[in-house]
Amino acid sequence: MLLHLSCYMVGGLYNICTKVVVYFFAVALLLNNFCLSIQKKKESFHYSTTLQKSFSNSEAP
C-alpha cells in the first residue's frame, strides 16, 4: 500500500513537472516571438524616421 502510494505521488510529481516544463517552453516561445515582433516594429519605425529625415534634408535647398 505504501509503495503504491509513493509511486502514485512520484507519478503525480512527474506529470506536474512535465506540464510545467511544457508550459515554460510555450511561454518562452511566446515571449521570444513577442520580443522579436517588438524589435522588428522598432526597426521599421527607425527606418521610416530616417527615411523622413533624408527626404526633408533633400527637399531643403
Query: Quick one: cell of 6?
Result: 509513493
Q: What is the mean pLDDT of the chain?
A: 80
Query: Quick one: cell of 42?
Result: 522598432
Q: Looking at residue 59, what is its pLDDT?
A: 59
**Total residue count of the chain as it appears in this document:** 61
Q: Which one-letter DSSP state was computed for residue 49?
A: H
CA-CA distance, 3 to 50, in Å (whole number)? 69
Query: Could you give the 3-state DSSP secondary structure of residue 60?
Result: coil
Residue 30's φ and ψ, nearest 5 degrees, are -65, -45
User: What's the pLDDT band for 58 if we cut at 50, 70, 90?
Assistant: low
Query: Could you give the 3-state DSSP secondary structure of residue 29?
Result: helix
Whole-structure pTM over 0.75, yes or no? no
